[in-house]
A and B are shown apart, each in its own frame.
Chain A
Amino acid sequence: NAGVTQTPKFRVLKTGQSMTLLCAQDMNHEYMYWYRQDPGMGLRLIHYSVGEGTTAKGEVPDGYNVSRLKKQNFLLGLESAAPSQTSVYFCASEGTTARAKNIQYFGAGTRLSVL
């Protein structure tokens, strides 16, 4: 019963490098989200997707791109990493049934440092 799985768990990048964070969910959820968590800031939404092939911008989308080619996967890309992107990144998913709606399930997070 995996739920929401994020890879990798840790990563260190140099400024200007690129990388992709992978989120996979096995609950057949329609909605998926990427957040970043910074000290004293709570969680802020980067991008989200309401279905396969669709994505939308959240509160802090600049410097990130996303793709949802398969329903179970949601990828977050950093094309040219900057120190300001040092953060902990969380993926979440949510179902659309009456029972599942309004409950977001979170992965364990990816800790990213950009030097």
Chain B
Amino acid sequence: GDSVTQMEGPVTLSEEAFLTINCTYTATGYPSLFWYVQYPGEGLQLLLKATKADDKGSNKGFEATYRKETTSFHLEKGSVQVSDSAVYFCALRDSGAGSYQLTFGKGTKLSVIP
């Protein structure tokens, strides 16, 4: 079956530090890949996505590139802010008719300190 493995946290960084959160996946088909973010007390919201190999998703200074050869979709940001403190989830949706389910990783909690 499909699965997503992401680095476990918590991750604590100082403001303006570089962020990488690793995500690798296994899928039976050709999946679309996502990063969702959950701020404290809120539901998840889509941060970025990529639907085919070598696509780069980007939003709010975050980036992730779909690497089919390494089955990875690592999240990066060059300079984090306190407001980026949240839980980040990597997810995939497999291809094919009837593929509605999103498969999530366990989440990585990021804390950014001033």
Contacts and interface: CB of A to CB of B under 8 A. Distances in A.
A102 to B, nearest CB: 6
A104 B102 contact: yes
Nearest to B101: A45
Contacts of A107: 43
B95 to A, nearest CB: 11
Contacts of A45: 101-102
Contacts of B101: 45, 48, 58-59
B35 interface: no
B46 A50 contact: no
A4 interface: yes
A57 to B, nearest CB: 10
A67 B43 CA distance: 22
Interface string A35-49: 000001111110010
Given A48-B100, A50-B100, A90 B107 contact: no
A109 B107 CA distance: 16
A31 interface: yes
Given A31-B100, A43-B89, A48-B100, A106 B43 contact: yes
A50 B98 CA distance: 10
A90 B104 CA distance: 13
Contacts of A58: 101
18 contacts: A4-B43, A31-B100, A33-B100, A42-B4, A42-B107, A43-B44, A43-B89, A43-B102, A43-B104, A45-B101, A45-B102, A48-B100, A90-B43, A90-B44, A102-B51, A105-B45, A106-B45, A108-B42
